[in-house]
Amino acid sequence: MNWEIFNGTESEWQKKFFEYDGHYRQSYQWGNYKSRMGWKVIRLSKKSDDKNLNLVQITYKKFKFFCAAYIPGEILGNSINLDEEFRKKILEHTKSKILYIRIDSTKKNIINEQQNLKS
């Protein structure tokens, strides 16, 4: 499956957020709060090979052809799914040529996270 713009409702997002015991900065309301502070928000979803739904909320600002994106908290799912297609989807959505992504993960298993993000 591919990364897609999340087209569900706020309550559907929140249901998955609670299932994953998500960081508060991945809550739908946090995205709304950041958008009121001038950040743009993109919410993406992807079903992985094992049929689990992965969600990620990204706040970003765009400067001409450059996009500075921030993933606060962590992905709701498995970070192994942050692949090249994920990057391309953000570039496509923001109509940018250069992408800088910062991830502020709060996951406790740092070794797995490092391996996932390197690959």
Q: Cα(first)–Cα(last) distance of the chain, in Å? A: 18
**Closest alpha carbon to 98 in 58, 63, 57, 59:** 63
pLDDT of residue 5: 96
pLDDT band at 52; cut points 50, 70, 90: confident
Render pLDDT for 2-48 as a digit per residue (tens, 0 to 9). 999 999 999 999 999 999 988 999 999 999 999 999 999 999 999 87
pLDDT of residue 76: 87
Q: Where are the alpha helices (DSSP H) in 37-94?
A: 84-94
From CA 88, how far away is CA 107, in angstroms rounded?
Answer: 25
Render pLDDT for 85-103 as a digit per residue (tens, 0 to 9). 989 999 999 999 999 999 8
Cβ proximity of 58 and 90 under 8 Å: yes
